[in-house]
Amino acid sequence: MYLRNIVFTRRKKRNGSIPKDKVIAFKDNNQANFSHENLILITRAENAEQCRDTDGYIAMQLAGRDKQLAEKIKKNKPLMELKRLQLKLNKEIKQHEKNG
């Protein structure tokens, strides 16, 4: 959390406040790379979408709140891929229904 606070402080000094509807993200998805060039602003919706495709999110969808089970599920790559595809298909179905 300490490094995150440093990043926010540096960004605020350099570019001003972060808009309420935006969050800082890592361009290369490397959360250890705090270089200014690697930090981008994205909407909260974009951030949520990116989080939905992580192994941790997919495993927790299958395991509920059981973190130990989620860790075991992460090792089962075919199961992870099937769940990922199911979530993407459900999203496409919802969008299709919404758009008519």
pLDDT in tens, 57-77: 999 999 998 999 999 999 999
For 74-94, how does the pLDDT look when each residue is reduced to its tens digit (9 = 90+)? 999 999 999 999 999 998 999
CA nearest 40: which of 23, 54, 16? Answer: 23
CB 27 within 8 A of CB 38: yes
pLDDT at 23: 86
90: which 2 tokens? 């459900």
More confident of the two residues 74 and 11? 74
- Which residue ranges make up each domain of the chain? 2-44, 52-99
pLDDT at 4: 64
20-38 in b/e form (b: 16+ CB < 10 A) is eeeeebeeeeeeeebeeeb
pTM: 0.60
